[in-house]
Amino acid sequence: MIEDLRTLVEIESPSRDIEALTASAEAVAAVIAKRLGGTATLVESAAGPHVRWSGGGEPRVLILGHHDTVFPIGTLERRPFAVADGRVTGPGVFDMLGGLVQAIHGLAALDDLTGVEILVTADEETGSHELRALIEERARACGAVLVFEGAADGGGLKIGRKGCGTFEVVVKGRASHAGLEPEAGVNALIEAAHQVLDIVAIGRPESGTTVTPTVASAGTGSNVVPAEARVVVDVRVESAAEKARVEAAFAALSPRLDGAEITVLGGIHRPPMPESAAASLFAVAEELLPGVEGVAVGGGSDGNFTAALGIPTLDGLGAVGGGAHADHEYLLVDSMVERANLVTGLVRAVVSGK
């Protein structure tokens, strides 16, 4: 498993880099074919190639993951793949190349892979816009989904996730000379300041809803009244009702200054993952790995899409470690065999109908 992980990590795969993602997809497909037999096919898209594999027969379980990472080309030179003191480090080892490797090796321990499908996407880190329809189609066809994102803290499985999305509020004003006639302009920055306070007020932390302005930009020069401003907002919700309320609140934002205009872009593209969707699969996992915890988390994954359809979905089956999206990202070596064995048991139980 460590050598296969090295192979994948040493082919950098930042989201949106089509050339890098193509090389990464080919490497993932080669590892799948080597360990499981058959042919893994590349599904081309505007976001880069995704990888599909099937064990044939009636589909029963979908193994879901992604091979894109958040790290730019050059990260590997600064932070190379390494194994030391019981940890594997390198860009993407935890999120989520380690999970892919464990899944593949767990499947390789099965004598019969009939009914198993694998789908590894190339744009999960940027929202899975290109492949959402195929993810949902294959999840419906299979009837059960195992997601190999990194485990929760302490190795817990992820049984619930918040819905998440990004809004961008674009403010249009009117430029004028800041010294000669500031009153002739409509200051988009001042309007944006009003909007930020209104946006923050949409949040309901007591209900699990967070609304967080994260990036802002405005203006073109120190002596020009800004004609445009933009505010990017991260949103997380725990329920479908809150998703609807937040989206309606953003749509209802209105300008405070005469002459200002507001346009709201984006939305909550990943629906909440209810804990009910994980219940049946988590019960099996508890039998296979006594003492494992089920945890609800704030981050989203492709499992949000499948769980929102009511399809049994269990997430966090990947690497045990930490530091997702950070330079200290790591995977615990001692957990790899245990997690691969969990894959074997879960898939055997699902495919057999037990």
Please check whether residue 157 is in contact with residue 316, taking contact to mean a CB–CB distance below 8 angstroms.
Answer: yes
Cα 155–chain centre separation? 18
CA separation for the pair 223, 245 (Å, rounded): 40
The answer to whether 124 is a known catalytic residue is yes
List 124, 228, 302, 329, catalytic entry: 124
CA separation for the pair 243, 79 (Å, rounded): 39
Give the sign of the dihedral formed by CA 95, CA 99, CA 104, CA 105: positive
CA separation for the pair 73, 13 (Å, rounded): 8
**Can you tell me whether residue 351 is helix, strand or coil?**
helix
CA distances, 35 to each of 1, 40, 52, 107, 155 (Å)? 10, 11, 14, 9, 25
Nearest to 155 by CA among 237, 98, 85: 98
Q: Can you tell me which residue has the tokens 């294959």?
A: 138
Q: Can you tell me which residue has the tokens 């990943």?
A: 270
Nearest to 96 by CA among 70, 133, 127, 61: 70
SS (H, E, C) 247-314: HHHHHCCCCCCCCCEEEEEEEEEECCECHHHHHHHHHHHHHHCCCCCEEEECCCCCHHHHHHCCCCEE
List 4, 68, 242, 329, catalytic entry: 68
Where in the sequence numbering do the catalytic residues fall?
68, 124
